Structure 1
Amino acid sequence: MAFKTPVFPAVDPEEFLQRPFFERVKVLSAFWAQNGFGSPRVLHLLYILKLVGLSTIGGLLVVTTTSEIGGLLDVRQWWDEPIVYQKLVLWVALLEVVGVGGAWGPLTGHFKPMYGGARYWLRPGTIRLPPWPRVVPLTRGDQRGVVDALLYAAILVSLAVAIVLPGAGTDALLAARPDVTGGLVRPVLFAVPAVLLALLGLRDKVPFLAARGEQYVPVMVVCATLDFTDMIIAAKLIIVTVWVGAAVSKFTRHFSFVVPPMASNAPFTPRAMRLWHYKNPPEDLRPSGFAHFMAHVMGTLAEFVVPLVLLFSTNRELTLVAVVCMVFFHLFITSTFPLAVPLEWNILFAYIGIFLFAGHPAGEGYGLLDFSEPWMLPMIASALLFFPVLGNLRPDLVSFLPSMRQYAGNWASAVWALAPGVEERLNELPIPVQTHNRQLQALGYPAPMAEMAMQMFIAWRSMHSQGKGLLSVARAYLGDDLDTYTVREGEVGANLVVGWNFGDGHLHDDQLIEAIQRRLHFAPGEFVVFWVESQPIHRPLQQYFVMDAALGIVERGRWDVRDLVDQQPWLPNGPIPLEVTWRHPEHHPAYPTASGEEALA
């Protein structure tokens, strides 16, 4: 892998782009297994510099100089100061909602410029996506107005003010921690951004999720409402809910397919170790036994058991061992540069684990039984578990982020198929950037190589379980015409249109496609979307739909997840079995169904 130049498959780009679609998928998925995205090393250095310089050192410098707790280098003085924990949460929330935290940079499809975020959300006229427009008053429509932009700006200001103002002492804090010098962030400074984020989230779910509101707003609420000891115990419940919720979501067949392509994209992992994650690369790219072990023992089991040890252990040594395990867990994820690149989030969680459980052990007055009103704990736990439980049972109702299903491989997902030349029309949307091909060409990529780089995202999707299902639907619906379409990953498309995505297909479902269609008026067949919902935890089925932007949803169906696990990314045996449950009576092409029945044109 070169330092300044990307690596591409050893094929002629122009000849490559003339090949049938699934031949291209085979070449690119085999390439990904060995090289990941093929990014130049300088790109990873840029991510590291951002993480270390801006996010970590920059954040700690701001926090320590505004909190009267000693200097940046005096780590022993501030590592367990409550105000450091509070302000670092606010700092990372600010980075995320601006757009320079996770989902930043080329690994998410932001090439030039490298982030969306504030470029979109401070700009009236861009597309917004209200979560419940038919239910919540004053939220209908899909165009960002001046009020939306001002509300978003107010969130940025409120977070910045909360970070820079000095802390204040409280009687409860002094009673529990007389050694503390920095005090606590004033409760009102947590309440204001929490309320503003909730209000903005009702108008546009995208910046709310970008701020990781499902995790940081609960922290803001407990910091605004609880005394010190109760705040620490509630904060423990929050982070354990995140960890255990993520582990539970991995109890599916999907997660084993996440680890191999993630390991392949880890720039500092030896190539031989990357290939250990596959059965027999490049011909067999199913997860190997080693990949299953890494996924479900080092991943799922560790993420489930160790946090529970942290929550309930009163043994100091055992607690410290568990803290070290979770720190290494997050450092390992950081080292792989996963495609959504949640680097700041992982480093923050590593620190939070140290602060909460090593700095405030359960055996020293910060256990569940030390809560001032123990009867409230079931209420707090129920509130924290509501969305994870609902999201696992009814994923259609809840984003995978509040469901705590981070990086489980069980995502609502989509691929877009655009007729030749149609992608250029996306530049007519009210967006502050150009389409991805133009961005790459502005960086010096020849047009064929820019197109090959964009198809790399489809290869990545095809290596995951639900990608095989989506491409099966695309092949069944479009037939041989699929070879002529420009196929794009829906997540990358959402980044272009709304400025952010973290893998949530709910941000590019029919709501977004309808918003695009109202502005661009595509003709039938020009823009076709294949979309699938996450698998409910208690059923082996996934529901999909096919949407022609000009015609609306034209087909609904489902597949059995068990039919995905033995498939190669390029579907050499053809599409998986699909059960079509509904077709639009007027609009659908003629193609054979899984049962052999032929649809009428």
Structure 2
Amino acid sequence: MGFTTPDLPKVDPETFLHLPLMERMRILATTWAEQGFGSPRMVHVVYIVKLIALYALGGVIVATATSNLPAFWHVSQWWNQPIVYQKLILWTVLLEAIGVAGSWGPLAGKVKPMTGGILFWARRGTIRLRPWKWVPFTAGDRRGAFDVALYAGLLLSVAVALLSPGVHSDSLVAALPANTSGLVNPALLVAPIALLILNGLRDKTVFLAARGEQYLPALFFFAVLPFVDMIIALKLLIVVVWIGAGVSKLGKHFSHVVPPMVSNSPSIPFAWIKRAHYRDFPRDLRPSRLADLMAHVGGTTVEILAPLTLLFSPYPWLTGVAVAVMVLFHLFIASTFPLAVPLEWNVLFAYTSVFLFLGFPNQQGYAVTDLSSPWLAAALLAGLLFFPILGNFRPDKVSFLPSMRQYAGNWASAVWAFAPGAEAKLNRVTRSAANQVDQFVAFGYEPLWAEITMQQTIGWRTMHSQGRGLFSVLLKNLPDIDTRTVREAEFTCNSLIGFNFGDGHLHNEDLIAAVQSEARFEPGELVIVWVESQAWGSKVQHYKVIDAALGVVERGAWKVADAVAEQPWLPNGPIPVQVTWTRPETGAAEAVPRGEYEATA
């Protein structure tokens, strides 16, 4: 791999692109296992510079300069100042909402331009996705002047709160008499809270991109709670996020996430370490015992036990150890450059660990038992746990982000299969970016290598549990699959709405219907296989086959155990799937009630 040149698969492009689909997947999965996406080192350097200069240094400079604090290099005088933490949250919300933090750049499918976000959400006519059709005044799937104004108002309101000086707080002075910086004016937080909610009701993409499921509660706590209660509530918030993510990793999916993530990490230069995460490279690419250990000891166990230790530890030394563990945990995740590139989020959470638990230790009056009221404690827990619990029992009702399933491998996901030449019809859709394959060509790739680079993303998908099911349904339903162009839905979605973060709900039949209104595919030209996350208590994942011109044409399910037992390239053929419904004009199928199939799985 060069600094400016990618590490491409060692294939002849012309020959490779004429191979059967699953043979291409075998080659690409094996290639990924050794070299990941193969991005040039320059790409990672760009991310690191952006993370350090724009996000970390920029955020600290803004926070200290607007809060009557010493210059940013006097770390000891600002690291535990509450207003700095508040403003770093606001800074993060602003960058995420603009689209220059997570899901930015080439690793997220943004090549030319590298930014989605604001280029889509401040433009009339682009696609918006309302979360609930029953909410009044949200009808339609295109952004109008009102939506652009709402979005601009959100950015402005966050900027005003961020740049305004702190105000006096009696509760802060009572707890910290020497503090002179105050807190962000609670009145200035009302507008960001309201506008984030309103934007979300009109377009869930903006809410999710701003990471509203985590930062909205924090803004609410800043606005309404007295200081000590605010700090403890913030502790509960981050612990729920951590433990929710840890619990979501229990099951069969997460072990399949770790090997391709490690393989893509530029911080692990040795191929033998990457190969060790697979059972028998290159013949068996299922997770090895090492991968299982990394997943469920280094991942699941850490994300559950360390946060519980932080929340209840009465000993400074134990708190310090747990803080160090969580800081290293987040820095490791950032070092792997996962494809959604949530680098800013990981850096913020590393700092949050230090700020909340070392800056305001439990034994100094900031333990859960120090909340001003047991009723407040109950209300906080009920509010923070509602969506994670609902979303895991009913993943069809809640995004995987409020469900706290970040990078758990248990994702709603999809692949799109275009008839020859049909992908070009996406260029009819109002948006601010071209198809990714065209972006790569515009960036300087030869067209054949641009196509192979795009196919690397579906090779990556096959390495995860749901990928085996998605491709099994493709093989079952499309006899001409070897002649079709197959795309990873996350990347395609990103070029259409300016954001992708692993949430398959962003590219379900609602997005497809919005795309179809402008692209006008003929029946059979675009067929999508889409699958929902596995629910707690279920042993299956439920899928849909969607024809862009006809809508949903098939529903069914596959057993998760069957998916995780197979190789990425399905050498034994498609895994078994149970068709539970078929659109009448596309064929007959036995109607199997959802609960009946789950009971026999």
Output the TM-score relative to the length of structure 2.
0.97
- The number of residues matched between the two structures is 589
Amino acid at match of 2:206: P
**Aligned-residue offset at 1:81:** 0.1
**Aligned-residue offset at 1:167:** 0.5
**Aligned-residue offset at 1:120:** 0.4
- Between the aligned partners of 1:566 and 1:536, the Cα distance in structure 2 is 19
Match of 1:159? Answer: 158
Match of 2:359? Answer: 359
Moved more, 266-275 or 214-223: 266-275
SS at match of 1:282: coil
Moved more, 366-375 or 119-128: 366-375
Match of 1:393? Answer: 393
> Deviation per CA, 1:447-491, whole angstroms, max 9, x where unpaired?
000000000100110000001100000011102x11011000011
1:532 equivalent to 2:531? Answer yes
Match of 1:262? Answer: 261
Match of 2:190? Answer: 191
SS at match of 1:586: helix
- Between the aligned partners of 1:5 and 1:396, the Cα distance in structure 2 is 41
> Deviation per CA, 1:379-435, whole angstroms, max 9, x where unpaired?
110110000000110000000000011000000000000011111111110011111
Match of 2:407? Answer: 407
Match of 2:583? Answer: 584
> Deviation per CA, 1:90-137, whole angstroms, max 9, x where unpaired?
10111111001111111111011111100000001001000112x110
| Contact 1:535 1:541 (8 Å CA) reproduced | yes
- Between the aligned partners of 2:313 and 2:336, the Cα distance in structure 1 is 30
SS at match of 2:321: helix
| Contact 2:433 2:496 (8 Å CA) reproduced | no
SS at match of 1:67: coil
Match of 1:177? Answer: 176
Amino acid at match of 1:170: S
> Deviation per CA, 1:11-31, whole angstroms, max 9, x where unpaired?
111111011100110111100
**Aligned-residue offset at 1:324:** 0.6
- Between the aligned partners of 2:549 and 2:162, the Cα distance in structure 1 is 47
| Contact 2:540 2:557 (8 Å CA) reproduced | yes
| Contact 1:473 1:530 (8 Å CA) reproduced | yes
| Contact 2:425 2:520 (8 Å CA) reproduced | no
1:519 equivalent to 2:518? Answer yes
Matches within 5 A, 1:184-583: 184-269=183-268, 270-479=270-479, 481-583=480-582
Amino acid at match of 1:486: T
- Between the aligned partners of 2:101 and 2:15, the Cα distance in structure 1 is 38
Name structure 1 gaps, 5 residues minimum. Answer: 594-601
SS at match of 2:363: helix
**Aligned-residue offset at 1:374:** 2.2
- Between the aligned partners of 1:498 and 1:544, the Cα distance in structure 2 is 23
**Aligned-residue offset at 1:538:** 1.2
**Aligned-residue offset at 1:9:** 1.2
- Between the aligned partners of 1:56 and 1:316, the Cα distance in structure 2 is 27
Match of 2:595? Answer: none
SS at match of 2:389: helix
Amino acid at match of 1:263: V
| Contact 2:319 2:357 (8 Å CA) reproduced | yes
Name structure 2 gaps, 5 residues minimum. Answer: 593-601
| Contact 1:551 1:587 (8 Å CA) reproduced | no
Amino acid at match of 1:559: W
Q: CA RMSD in A?
A: 1.1
1:59 equivalent to 2:70? Answer no
Match of 2:599? Answer: none
**Aligned-residue offset at 1:203:** 0.4
> Deviation per CA, 1:76-99, whole angstroms, max 9, x where unpaired?
000000001100001011111100
**Aligned-residue offset at 1:589:** 10
- Between the aligned partners of 2:168 and 2:307, the Cα distance in structure 1 is 30
| Contact 1:252 1:537 (8 Å CA) reproduced | no
Identity %, equivalent residues:
57
| Contact 1:330 1:349 (8 Å CA) reproduced | yes
Amino acid at match of 1:253: K
Match of 2:74? Answer: 74
Match of 1:596? Answer: none
| Contact 2:582 2:588 (8 Å CA) reproduced | no
Amino acid at match of 1:254: H
- Between the aligned partners of 1:149 and 1:281, the Cα distance in structure 2 is 50
- Between the aligned partners of 1:182 and 1:576, the Cα distance in structure 2 is 61
